[in-house]
Amino acid sequence: MSAALKVAAPGLFTTLQDRGRLGFQSLGMPVAGALDMLGLQIANALCGNPPDMAALELRYLGPSLLVEAESVRLALAGNAQADILAADGSVYPLSSWRSFTLKQGDTLRVGNTDAAVAYLAVAGGFDLPPFMGSLSTYTRAALGGFKGRALQAGDLLPLALPQAPAGGDRQVDDAAGLYGDGPIRVVLGPQQDRFTPDGIAAFLSGEYRVTQEADRMGIRLEGPAIAHTNGADIASEGIANGAVQVPGNGQPILLIADRQTTGGYTKIATVISADLPRLGGLKPGAALRFIQVGVAEAEAIRRRQQADLQALLADMRPAKPAGGLDLDALYRENLISGMVDAAQGGGA
């Protein structure tokens, strides 16, 4: 039997994502890739994988996965409700920001995610062929990942390793501090001159809410209208991750991982790279504001974030077994001998 994870329940929208399909936008191929690169890197580090290896991206509600392998090591990054249904019927609660080792017949069950996205990495990765150098799933064109689509019940995800690698599980502290809070930081442009001063002021001072029209391609916002100087249309041009596009109705759209390669609407600003992971976590109804920063400040913020990420990973430490006591560790402490010594009046 080939090592695999069997999808017992697929979750709401679970796809394989890595850093994306880079270098092909000139051919009309969207990048796709993980919405939250911080979460992807942390999940992979906990499994001992390269930082950009493909992992499962969980949207809102995670999957249930049955282990059809001798053993497998997984890691969950992002706050999510999860537990392990062991092969013997026992149920163990599972915390996030850690790896855990499951055996054949065990089932991982991931429920709601606190943010809109979380990541589940597997040690060694998935044994699937890349498309244009990436395993990222781009569902709009049905390519990449697993059959070009979100997971479905009954799918078998082939594993690259027949069993979990040697070594124990690891954990890190809650990584929420890496993401920051407060207004989303943006650099104005590239078409800021196509908006009135009042329109720019409305964008930078108003509160916007995420509408129900939010997916991996873009997030439509609702709030103060942003006025143009001479219409919303421009000659079609390339679109960066985090571009804030403003069509004729004056309501901004955040363009993210699955964005189109080119577009013909004015863009008032671009979200800085350090805040892109926050966009992936936005749920419908969430409120947000924007604040302007300069390019140099945006670069400094990104450098600090990367330094903080490396510090978090450097502080990675052994994790207790999921849902139970580490009996082997207790036995190594020689507690029984200490009890005997104490009963005889000696020192422990």
pTM given for the model: 0.91
Residue 344: pLDDT band (50, 70, 90) is very low
- Does 75 have pLDDT greater than 90? yes
165-216 pLDDT, tens digit per residue, is: 999 999 999 898 999 999 999 999 999 999 999 999 999 999 999 999 999 9
List beta partners, residue 57. 15, 119
Q: What is the mean pLDDT of the chain?
A: 92
**% of residues, the chain, pLDDT over 70:** 92
Map residue 233 onto helix, strand or coil: strand
pLDDT of residue 176: 87
- What integer is the mean pLDDT of 230-244? 94
pLDDT digits (tens, 9 = 90+) for 163-176: 999 999 999 998 98
Whose tokens are 């069950």? That residue is 109
Q: How far apart are CA 311 and CA 254, in angstroms?
A: 30
Distance from C-alpha of 203 to C-alpha of 223, rounded to nearest angstrom? 9
Q: Which two tokens stand for residue 279?
A: 């966009």
Q: Give the pLDDT confidence score for residue 288 in this predicted structure.
A: 97
- With a cut of 90, say whether residue 158 has pLDDT above it: yes
Cβ contact 11:239 at 8 Å? no
Domain ranges of the chain: 4-161+168-173, 179-306
Tokens describing residue 18: 């890595």
- pLDDT score for 324: 54
Across 252-263, average pLDDT: 96
The single-letter DSSP state of residue 273 is G
Kindly state the average pLDDT of the residues 316-334: 61
pLDDT at 320: 83
Mean pLDDT, to the nearest integer, of 15-19?
Answer: 98
Whole-angstrom distance, CA of residue 286 vs CA of residue 269: 20
Over residues 90-117, the pLDDT tens digits come to 999 999 999 999 999 999 999 999 889 9
Provide the pLDDT for residue 217: 96
Which of 151, 84, 80, 152 is CA-nearest to residue 111?
Answer: 80
Among the listed residues 151, 170, 149, 171, the one whose alpha carbon sits nearest the alpha carbon of residue 61: 151
Matching residue, tokens 């407060």 = 182
Q: Residue 116 and residue 137: Cα distance in Å, rounded?
A: 17
Write down the pLDDT at residue 323.
59
Query: 222 is written with which tokens?
Result: 């609702």
pLDDT at 190: 96
Confidence of residue 265 (pLDDT cuts 50, 70, 90): very high
Model pLDDT, residue 1: 64
CA atoms within 13 Å, Cβ hemisphere of 79: 9
Exposed, middle or buried by CB within 10 Å (0-12, 13-18, 19+), for 344? Answer: exposed
H/E segment holding residue 108: strand 107-122
Give the pLDDT score at 182: 95
Query: Are the C-beta atoms of 100 and 75 separated by less than 8 Å?
Result: yes
> Does position 339 have pLDDT exceeding 50, yes or no?
no
The percentage of the chain sitting over the pLDDT mark of 90, rounded to a whole number, equals 89
Sign of the torsion formed by the C-alpha atoms of 249, 254, 258 and 264? positive
CATH fold of 179-306 reads Cyclophilin (2.40.100)
Residue 16 vs residues 20, 149, 150, 201: alpha-carbon distances, Å: 10, 9, 8, 39
Residue 131: φ, ψ to 5°: -120, 120
Hey, what long-range contacts does 295-301 have (CB within 8 A, 24 or more apart)? Answer: 295/187, 298/185, 298/187, 298/272, 298/273, 298/274, 301/185, 301/272, 301/274
